[in-house]
Chain A
């Protein structure tokens, strides 16, 4: 259940940002959590309210973008969709690749009032 650490880390960052601008409450938060990031969105949603209670994120609207996994083959340069982190190149079947997207784990934006 590392989603707990993820959520608590988000809350800490958010609290700090709010403190920096002299207080307030977060109306909206935009997260980017890639499909290959290793975070289960369902688990994250499950614990979100519990963790956010009595923090600047209580009752905030949460928007999560989930970029699909994609990679570029290190052998033949083919770009392909990565459903699983161990998918091989569909053209030359090489397992060597560079992941282009899907590993994102970011707080994109906060809207504070």
Chain B
């Protein structure tokens, strides 16, 4: 272990190390289930389309439906659940998650599948928000950042191990088996949370007026907009990765998990690199990453036809996007000021808005007959759009800093 928690005799803050470790495992398991259900749909898109009897762009709407569930669920449940006891809230969220995934696995037709996927997305943001608060309260003093980072590990682990594995299982035993597996992870998480997460009370000092005040800031809206548009570029490409591999690269379906693995490793390297780059300069790394992301997405529209260049481009896109998300999160937390909680929850909401629009626009150009290379060109356009909003945000930032220097801080 990297943390010296075993050496701490009686931490003044948080629980004993064994409790903290077991609670972390339970919470990572929940994040893992969420990560698999969010990304396995991309790997199994052709199977879902065939199984439910719709075309690929229509199946892509199930990706958008999940993401819209996150966009609506994250702020709504965060506000409604602010006063609820945290463990009870976690248990409720994960039970709903398991039921919704089981419903998706049983969905008799396209409409019910869309509804079940929408319902699966609703607990996503609130679970991560609640889990972060629990982790911080159990962590030893001075380990809050690392505790939150540890909880978030569920998603990269899902992308490296869970998603390629679930895609493979789904190809062998039908797409429904993948959602059944996720529902099982949800049930397991409920059991583990009940066993290993101590009962904690809600924070009586939660003040939503202060949090909501953040929404009066132009910079907060601009930063949310940068994520909501720019991040859509990656999703426009990645949502249709499975048909792209079979139709453009010309490899059999069994090669799809390989692309998903490259994506997963890219997101791990990118998340780590993003932290290092953010320490260097948040704004500069956001601009450079955004520009590289746009160029890579445009490049993928023709490297997609050769296997190794295609895999490497997917790896590079995922790496740059992963680093970009960290920069965005840091930027959002600094512009949101006192409203850090809502700032972090809104980052989830804006990234999933991007997921919904990216998958939708990518599907729209496929439906229009432009083929499977077109979504990544749309993605390059979205990334450029995000970059333009970022330029606007930097301009506002410069003007405000200049004003502060000339007239002192605004009242």
Interaction A to B: no
